[in-house]
Amino acid sequence: MKSFLIEGRQSAAYNDSAFGAMDACRRDMIEFPDLTVNATAGTFWGADGRIAAYKTVYDLYDSIDPKRKAAYATDLLGNKDYRDAVFSWLNRLGNIRTAHSVIASPGGTGAVAFGVFNCVEKGDELLIPDIGWINYRVMVEECGAVPAYYSFLEGAEGAACNVSAADAERRGSADAAAQSRLGIADLKAQSRRIMEKQGRLTVVINDPCQNPTGASFGPELWADLMEFYNELSAQGPVVIINDVAYLDYSEDPENATRYFDAFGGLSENVAVLLAFSCSKLLTVYGLRLGACVILTQKQEDADSLQAAFVRYARSNWGTVNNSLMQCFVEIVRDHKDALLAEKQQAIDALSERSLAFIEASRACGLELYPYFGGFFVTVRVSDPGLLQRFDAELKKDHIYGVKYPGGMRFAICALQPATCASLPARVKAALERAEGK
């Protein structure tokens, strides 16, 4: 039979679990606006129950000359002042002490894509987290590679515990309990296995504030990990795609980049690609801006990667959002404190909402993945069939989350504290119906 598509392209209808759930929810909301719970969004919503759009950002953005908005970027790499501003933003502690170059991208997605589509051989394994952003898997398949998974949740009961249940009221010790369950043993083992098999390794690490768990390795685990990768790279090139999309929603954002210390002694055969996103930082999800910060030991290697990436950019999307680059430059130069104050309110709100959700989950015996912080909490459901039935039961009750391999994600970033307190009991009831109880 004739095919318009080349081999390897998938032609079955594409169902994105996040966008699909959002769409189903929107349709339900038209008929049942008061009953429907939208916990699908990957965007922060304010106390008014609508998506937040930081005033600092939009006042400035709206003041930009329309002719500037109309214009292309001045450089295919992204405007120079924007690239410099991104580097300074990430180098806030002055601890990126290695050769680097920067290229703008449409969102963090484009920055991750630079690495995946240019640094992985067809048929090779690409290492991604076993519970992680769904799009990594889509990218792996699109570039003709094979997904390999690592787990970063360890401990006596593995990931299968409601960590914060032990001490939900006292957030500090709950965080400590969760932190003790993070580990890099499996990440190292899988990396070793893949390096031995294919003589090169590309790995995606979404840290800090991993989606969906919010987990962050912190400086010590990163130092250990980088020592390992520097050694492993004696056997072949290692590319680490460090997706930092949620970096600025860490509980201590000023020190969130402390772990970059570990990139100081990069071996010649290791490249770190920091995939930066403006989406969450500035509440500009739809405006599409990010950057890839390439770190290598030698400047010529960073420049070569950048030269390959600019061809990829030119042939896939062209340039990125010109006026938003200008907006970012001006905000970090002149309005940084105002931005940080608005963002801090969001971080505080997430803290309140997560506590309400966790406490209510404990009360009704709903099992969550360890929660470390961030936009989401995830109910653990490892059986894919059960997950499917669970999703159907939730929908009957007009509740919409997003299915992840291993669980159902609820976006507390989009829920009010009262909903976070009442939802777990309804979720638990739906799960029990799905289990046939």
Ligand X SMILES: Cc1ncc(COP(=O)(O)O)c(C=O)c1O
Contacting residues toward ligand X, per CB under 6 A: 42, 107-109, 133, 206, 211, 243, 245, 277, 279, 285, 290
CA angle, residues 57, 60, 66, in degrees to nearest 5: 120
| Cβ–Cβ < 8 Å for 104, 320 | yes
246: which residues sit within 8 A by CB, 6+ positions away? 206, 208, 209, 210, 211, 214, 280, 374, 375
By beta-carbon proximity to ligand X, the closer residue of 269 and 406 is: 406
By beta-carbon proximity to ligand X, the closer residue of 278 and 423 is: 278
By beta-carbon proximity to ligand X, the closer residue of 229 and 376 is: 376
- State the helix-helix crossing angle for 218-232 and 185-198, rounded to 10 degrees: 20
CB of 363 to ligand X, least distance (A): 29
By beta-carbon proximity to ligand X, the closer residue of 182 and 232 is: 182
In terms of Cα–Cα distance, which of 384, 381, 372, 375 is closest to 427? 381
CB of 68 to ligand X, least distance (A): 22
| Cβ–Cβ < 8 Å for 310, 103 | yes
By beta-carbon proximity to ligand X, the closer residue of 305 and 411 is: 411
CB of 331 to ligand X, least distance (A): 17
Dist CA 176 CA 45 (whole Å): 27
Strand partners, 399: 37
By beta-carbon proximity to ligand X, the closer residue of 149 and 285 is: 285
H-state helical runs in 3-161: 17-31, 55-63, 66-70, 80-90, 107-119, 134-142
Dist CA 291 CA 77 (whole Å): 9
Q: Would you call 149 helix, strand, or coil by DSSP?
A: strand
CB of 4 to ligand X, least distance (A): 28
Pairing of strands 270-277, 238-243: parallel
Select the residue whose beta carbon is closest to ligand X and give its number. 107
Look up residue 365 and give its two tokens: 């015996």
CB of 299 to ligand X, least distance (A): 27
CB of 245 to ligand X, least distance (A): 4
Dist CA 158 CA 151 (whole Å): 10
* 100 sits in which H/E element: strand 99-105
CB of 375 to ligand X, least distance (A): 8
CB of 182 to ligand X, least distance (A): 17
By beta-carbon proximity to ligand X, the closer residue of 204 and 355 is: 204
By beta-carbon proximity to ligand X, the closer residue of 112 and 195 is: 112
